[in-house]
Structure 1
């Protein structure tokens, strides 16, 4: 016998009851192997479930499958509205999720595809501190009037300064988001519209038709209103329903995620059940598969 084998062998007591204990040994060994197999299956299942959760620390995309942000960059978005949009984007950027980005005013284009890591939104955040700048050569007065800009008062140019100079046509952003979903072939993707809802009256018909296409396609739409006027808000309540508009408490709850470091989402009941089953298996193993202990008869 080698030294290694002798180290593995545990000390035992000689007995003449080997034959009587044989059936108990085989039964215990089979039970141990069965419990080990079930434990491995549960561990593999829990690993697969954990990878598929993809839960986001916000309730904006509650399905956990990510979505597309449709962001209003029209000239009606002032400093206060831009700062709220920044808070929303920041809460998404701080998650470990996937998100797409469509920006629009009177036209729209895809800035980020829907499989982009949400952290890619971070470079855009500084441009929302003072509101969107429609051009490096003009500025807006306190009364809202756009006038030529002076070199000393030149605002920071944003990536969309020379692109979006017109009014608001929300339908263009929603159309672009729907086309992206059709291109990706993933109807689980939802759409988050971030806008002040100050839509052009000429766009009402197109917007209504596009919302009808969303309903037919089963695309989930949520709206984050950026301090809209009463009439604009009421129009969207009629078009998409009050439940589709994200209320202020929910916005504050989502944008406060970094301080709280918590995940807002459904409780992972499946993982909890698997954990309880593993604990039960350990208890059964200790109760039924323990080593024989010699002692006085009970």
Structure 2
């Protein structure tokens, strides 16, 4: 009886001398196969965890609340941009409105599209139709940003939210004694691990300096010019916007495939 030979195998008169190398190749092939499967599974998990929204106003993985200043210039385009961006990406947020006092208008988890009806109360378009009566006209009696932040923080605490994010929409036109209260509330909010972002309305240089002193420039979602768009910090930088984790996993997959082809390619023997 002749020993059975694998189809396509190279015949040799000393198979025992190659047995050790054959075992080593088998182990290497199994290790690379396991590494490829693990890398592929990792890539799938990373891809599933990536936020498909492009630079959302509320950071990924956060529970957001819009804190709306009703005494501000809400007819300005930045207000409409903010609401429309939240609706377009269907971000789920709560809504707290404030002027001299503050109260919760919508609970957290409300779809962003539910905020769109608010726009009709603040539209400045000239039409023959009388403007809708603003239900908050009598509510405006000054500006206390600190009160809006306090109520929003209480809402997150009531709902046991530990990964919150506050999106403050305000002109930041506040009195000197309010500056200290706002700074205290910002410190308390951030001390609880809650992110604070600001969409400044009518951002004059004086107000921008006040904002930078209290919140820091990184928290501002709009440049100083009147026609500047509202966008998250991640949208301004490739380093922040690119899915680096997924790219790293994809690169590892490519390297593993290249190693597999380089070390375990079939030996071509001419006849």
Asked if Structure 1 and Structure 2 have the same fold, meaning a TM-score greater than 0.5 normalized by the shorter chain, the answer is yes
Counterpart of 1:270 (choices 239, 245, 261) is 245
Distance change in 2, residues 1:33/1:193 (3 Å): same
Consecutive unaligned residues in structure 2, runs of 5 or more: 1-5
The structural deviation recorded for 1:290 is: 2.4
Distance of 2:56 and 2:216 partners within structure 1: 18
**Which residue of structure 1 aligns with residue 83 of structure 2?**
89
Distance of 1:275 and 1:181 partners within structure 2: 38
Counterpart of 1:101 (choices 87, 95, 98) is 95
Correspondence list, 1:6-155, <5 A: 12=8, 15=11, 17=13, 19-20=15-16, 22-54=19-51, 56-58=53-55, 60-61=57-58, 65=62, 67-74=64-71, 76-77=72-73, 79=75, 81=76, 83-95=77-89, 97-130=91-124, 154-155=130-131
The structural deviation recorded for 1:23 is: 4.3
* TM-score normalized with structure 1 length: 0.66
Distance of 1:40 and 1:67 partners within structure 2: 37
Distance of 1:213 and 1:268 partners within structure 2: 32
Distance change in 2, residues 1:107/1:235 (3 Å): same
Consecutive unaligned residues in structure 1, runs of 5 or more: 1-9, 132-151
- Higher alpha-carbon deviation: 53-62 or 99-108: 53-62
Contact 2:222 2:231 in 1 (8 A): no
* TM-score normalized with structure 2 length: 0.72
- Higher alpha-carbon deviation: 64-73 or 245-254: 245-254
The structural deviation recorded for 1:218 is: 4.4
Distance of 1:126 and 1:190 partners within structure 2: 26
**Which residue of structure 1 aligns with residue 265 of structure 2?**
290
Counterpart of 1:175 (choices 143, 150, 155) is 150
Q: How many residues align?
A: 258
Distance change in 2, residues 1:203/1:284 (3 Å): closer
The structural deviation recorded for 1:110 is: 3.0
The structural deviation recorded for 1:72 is: 1.9
